Amino acid sequence: MQTMHKFNTDLEKCQANFQALTPIRFLTRAAEVFPDRTAVIYKDRRYTWAEYSDRCHKLARALIASGVERGNTVAIMAPNVPAMVEAQFGVPLSGGVINCINIRLDAAAVAFILEHSETKVMLVDQQFAKVARDAIALSGMPIPVIDIADSDAGSTDLIGKIEYEDFLESAPRTVSVRYPEEEWEAIALNYTSGTTGNPKGVVYHHRGAYLNSLGQIINAELAGRRPVYLWTLPLFHCNGWCYAWALAAVGGTHVCLRKAAASDIFAAIEQHQVTHFCSAPTVLNFLIAGKPASWKAPDEPIKVVCAGASPPVSVLQQVVEMGFSVLHVYGMTEMHGITTLCQSQESWEGLDLTERMGRLGRQGVRTVVADEMIVCAPDSYESVPRDGKTIGEVMFRGNLAMKGYLKNPAATREAFADGWYHTGDLAVMHEDGYIEIKDRSKDIIISGGENVSSLELEDVLYTLPAIAEVAVVAVPDEKWGEVPCAIIDLRPEHVGKVSEQDVIQFCRTKLPGFKVPRHIIFEPITRTATGKLQKFKLRAHAAEVISARKA
Amino acid sequence: MQTMHKFNTDLEKCQANFQALTPIRFLTRAAEVFPDRTAVIYKDRRYTWAEYSDRCHKLARALIASGVERGNTVAIMAPNVPAMVEAQFGVPLSGGVINCINIRLDAAAVAFILEHSETKVMLVDQQFAKVARDAIALSGMPIPVIDIADSDAGSTDLIGKIEYEDFLESAPRTVSVRYPEEEWEAIALNYTSGTTGNPKGVVYHHRGAYLNSLGQIINAELAGRRPVYLWTLPLFHCNGWCYAWALAAVGGTHVCLRKAAASDIFAAIEQHQVTHFCSAPTVLNFLIAGKPASWKAPDEPIKVVCAGASPPVSVLQQVVEMGFSVLHVYGMTEMHGITTLCQSQESWEGLDLTERMGRLGRQGVRTVVADEMIVCAPDSYESVPRDGKTIGEVMFRGNLAMKGYLKNPAATREAFADGWYHTGDLAVMHEDGYIEIKDRSKDIIISGGENVSSLELEDVLYTLPAIAEVAVVAVPDEKWGEVPCAIIDLRPEHVGKVSEQDVIQFCRTKLPGFKVPRHIIFEPITRTATGKLQKFKLRAHAAEVISARKA
């Protein structure tokens, strides 16, 4: 409610001084300001910003002509090819809501999404023709498909009635594209893979997408040298953390990639003078392993914006020496992607490398467009002390939070309880106000009344060179309630040479007794289609294995 | 009006996902993220961001305790000293609206502003104690004054009951600061000096101030190397183009200056490693004239954001050689400051220096947060062709436009007629979509039905080395309706050596006949307190002189 006074009298909003915030406005500006700059590179294709904008507008007009109305879902299942980058603007410009479907999902999961989102039209890259056809069949919905053909797709299947390029050419010239009527309108829909139950549809708004796009420019310093951005991060993750929109705001160049293998990354860097890319920490490992013999560090470091668990110090150190600068960030689908960054401090420059890398690997502080963040006791909302030890839940409040979950008011209410978005992630806050994620709240191990962070254990175990991969979960224990159990995938050359006792003994030298894993299981670790650990499944599996051992 | 569909159902705004946009939120973040970085430097004083934030909060609490309520005007009359920088946050945090008064105004003009704005409290730097005291007396209002004492003020007058530092210390600890209830609330009030009639009070909103602050970070690349910003631009111009707020968003350093003389600028650059400052083109002349013998170009150019008429190519060239990079921008009080920038293009790099500098001196393209700009016929709103010749009026639409003029609905309606903010500035649009301002609409000279740009004439005349300053205005003419008349201030060494005929002859070699000035008046040029040419006054004066000559 506004207090009435002279500054609120005869000073109303009007068309001249108020417009809906939307990132799609960046596109027409880029076409005007940078018409001849390269917007998109893919194999031997090149589009300037004028051409790219034209293609996005054609997509929008063709979608409108095919019946898409405001608030209709337009799904796309594609890797980071030009059509996928174009859809980020083309679908919203049609008034539709873009739903980028995770390409690692199976037909059943895709069918669920198509049904739940009431998908009106679907764009399908040939590589995913089979799963899309099966999903549509499962859904029983008559969803028209626009095929995206590509000789590199590894498939020549065409499951729709029209190919993408023909669809663009079919666009009537006289149809007007649609800008949002309000900035609170939906721009995108992203299904979370979820660790339990059915996926939830996270609804993005134009306001949040606009603000987070500007935020990304500031976070990753995209406004300085003209950015050449390599698409290693799948666009189906939070619309590529809003980078497709952010690049339009600064007239950068998208370098598309069907697959983000190390060889492709290095080739693109060499060929296109890539300045920025985003990645999970695993990509840093790829870079180290795949470094070409001829590699030379570039004059100016290549900025890698890296989200996920803190990369090990040695990994950070190696990529920095290779000429990359790593910006560690943290966020989630529900917050339009990136919400915190590990802002580097001048005072760290004097620290020794290990100490410095340790600081750089934390999740850090809220970005400038993320209004409020607390790490708190989930019942009292009281902030944890800045001791680097006390664990609390990370919560956010502000314009980056989603509209809510589509057709799921109960889940929305729960997520936004008491005016805070509850991330479910557990973190400590260090003395300098930087947060460090310790665990997902549901994966914390409570042993003898003490909280044990499975992440901390995993970090310690990863320092053992014999270990390729490890996941720590709780298993039931008569005495302690729960005890930590480590599932370990040994490197091939160490299989059979490392015993459970060796591992436990090693942990004893590094950790207090209650944190030492009581059980070790040597076996490969199962992940979801998106590469996520589903700890609730691993927990069930571990419980079975351990119970069988005892029997 | 929103269309109802599933994406607008059960997905309302709430405290978790919607907060009022306001730049004052940047302050608490800066205090948390950059607590030990230097926020403010003035003479031998230094405040970190933690200290600066604390001082701003104290100012807010002290103002609240002294009776300031939401929507009250808090005026400040001060040069770019720390109190002035602090007031940019302290006043809005009290719920008050900050009114930075032009320090070059006389008591009568200040009195008008105090009355019209219903000023509740006034902060006065000692340098302006006399004019403030006289203005308050003239207003007849019992406005309490907080004196800002400074040994460099050139005055020891204290006209209020409390000094600024004591006022901060008087702040009760228990009072809560105020965030805006809505982002459409007023944050600042800026009186335009105006070329006719009484000044108008331009009301800024939190939304526009927030967006333009983010815009400035992108325009001037403030997010890269940690910015050290020198306050050459008076903060009473559009709240320093939103830079006080923008610097908080990136944790930069304010270097305060009571006066922006060349010697002070060079001293600050050397002492504090200044990276950025803003200026009028005249400051570029100061830099060239005042270059110290020991000057060395810095490793990385110092960014000068420069608004106003295009600087002459030779001036641009010289400052670039000195190690400055000039970003030409354009804006106005009514648009929260900067609204366009001359975005540099790669394709210009191959051009010869004169050609390149000519392109860089244009007003350019809209910034990324300025939604829409047209150059059009003021009656039909039809855009002019991109021919670099046809003159039209510059108009803007979007979130950077003011709320309106305080207590002046008629002027607000006129300014926002037909949903566009009418700048009154006349420009051409070049083939590349860049605008170039040619004149204020009221200052165009219409001679024999042809439009003559007084600016173009001035540019030509400035290439004559004998000329120190020139202003071209229209004078009445029986035959042609109007003809151009040049008022010329010759450099001392040329006085008496250059004739009217010399000047006219020179122009004939450079311009088509109808553009050649018919009259020349040799005399110094009168400017307003803010250094603006009031062409309506010059016109009246020139008409008198010419008419007397004929008689």
Question: What is the Cα–Cα distance from A528 to B466, expressed in whole angstroms?
Answer: 78
ipTM, 2 dp: 0.87
Residue (of A275, A223, A236) closest to A101 by Cα position: A236
Among the partner-chain residues A182, A403, A407, the one whose CB lies closest to the CB of B17 is A403
Say if the Cβ atoms of A6 and B71 lie within 8 Å. Answer: yes
- Terminal-residue alpha carbon distance, chain B: 66
What pLDDT was estimated at residue A452? 77
Q: What is the pLDDT of residue A193?
A: 63
For residue range A411-456, what is the model confidence (pLDDT) as tens digits?
999 999 999 999 988 899 999 999 998 876 666 787 776 667 788 7
Report chain A's C-alpha Rg in angstroms: 24
CB within 8 Å: A397 and B208: no
Angle at B3 between CA A248 and CA A177, to 5 degrees: 35
Q: The whole model's pTM is what? A: 0.87
Record: contact B182-A407, CB cut-off 8 A:
no
For residue A195, the model assigns a pLDDT of: 43
Counting Cβ atoms within 10 Å, is residue A11 exposed (0-12), middle (13-18) or buried (19+)? Answer: buried
The pLDDT score that the predictor gives to residue A451 is: 67
| Burial class of residue B227 (count of CB atoms within 10 Å of its CB; 0-12, 13-18, 19+) | buried
pLDDT digits (tens, 9 = 90+) for B196-217: 457 899 999 999 999 999 999 9
Mean predicted confidence (pLDDT) in A512-519: 87
Half-sphere exposure of B116 (CA within 13 A, CB side): 22
Q: How many CA atoms lie within 13 A of B209 on its CB side?
A: 36
Residues of B in contact with A416 (CB under 8 A): 14-17
A vs B: CB pairs below 8 A: 205
Using CB atoms, which residue from A10, A118, A214 is nearest to B412?
Answer: A10
Torsion sign over Cα B117, B122, B127, B133: positive
More confident call, B390 vs B378: B390
Q: Is residue B85 helix, strand or coil?
A: helix
Taking 50 as the threshold, does the pLDDT of residue B291 lie above it?
Answer: yes
Q: Answer for the pair B17, A416: CB distance below 8 angstroms, yes or no.
A: yes
d(CA B106, CA A132): 74
Average pLDDT over residues B378-386: 92
Question: What does the pLDDT look like over A260-310, one tens digit per residue?
Answer: 889 999 999 999 999 999 988 778 888 998 999 999 999 999 999 998 767
Mean pLDDT of the region B218-233:
92
Q: Given a cut of 60, is residue A403 above it in pLDDT?
A: yes
Q: Taking residues A86-108, report their average pLDDT.
A: 95
For residue range B429-478, list pLDDT tens digits in order: 999 999 998 876 666 787 776 667 788 788 889 889 899 889 999 898 87
Choose the mutation target among A3, A5, A7, A421 for the interface with B, i.e. most B CBs under 10 Å.
Answer: A7
Distances (CA, A) of A42 to A59, A169, A225, B315: 18, 20, 21, 43
Q: Which of A38-52, A184-198, A238-252, A394-408 has the lowest mean pLDDT?
A: A184-198
The DSSP H or E segment spanning B40 is: strand B38-42
- Name every chain A residue with its beta carbon within 8 A of the beta carbon of B217: 218, 223
State the pLDDT confidence band at B423, using cuts at 50, 70 and 90: very high
Question: Structural domains in chain A?
Answer: 444-550 (3.30.300.30)
∠ CA B82-B84-B89 to the nearest 5 degrees? 100
Higher pLDDT: B63 or B157? It is B63
Residue A457 has pLDDT above 60, yes or no: yes
Beta strands in B347-480 (DSSP E): 365-366, 372-376, 392-397, 404-405, 421-429, 435-440, 445-447, 450-452, 467-477
pLDDT tens, A297-326?
Answer: 999 999 999 987 677 788 888 999 999 999
Is residue A87 pLDDT above 70, yes or no? yes
What integer pLDDT is reported at residue B206 of this predicted model?
Answer: 98
- Residue numbers in B near A18 (CB within 8 A): 184, 399
Q: Across the interface, do A11 and B399 touch by the CB < 8 Å criterion?
A: no
Q: Are A207 and A21 in contact (CB under 8 A)?
A: yes
> CB pairs under 8 A, 24+ apart, for B154-158?
B154/B126, B154/B127, B155/B126, B155/B127, B155/B129, B155/B130, B156/B126, B157/B126, B157/B129, B157/B130, B157/B133, B158/B126, B158/B129
CB contact under 8 A, A97 and B186: no
Per-residue pLDDT reduced to its tens digit, A365-390: 999 999 999 999 888 899 999 999 99
Inter-chain residue contact A8 with B365, CB threshold 8 Å:
no
Under DSSP, is residue A510 helix (H, G, I), strand (E, B) or coil? coil
- Give residue A283's pLDDT: 83
Q: How far apart are CA A473 and CA A457, in angstroms?
A: 10
Integer Cα distance of B52 and B59 in angstroms: 11
E-assigned strand segments in A16-152: 38-42, 45-48, 73-77, 97-100, 119-125, 145-148
Given this model, what pLDDT does residue A197 score?
A: 57
Sheet holding A421-429, edge to edge: A372-376, A392-397, A421-429, A435-440
Task: Answer yes or no: do A14 and B184 touch at CB < 8 A.
Answer: no
Nearest to B17 among A32, A345, A401 (CB): A401
pLDDT digits (tens, 9 = 90+) for B97-113: 999 999 988 899 899 99
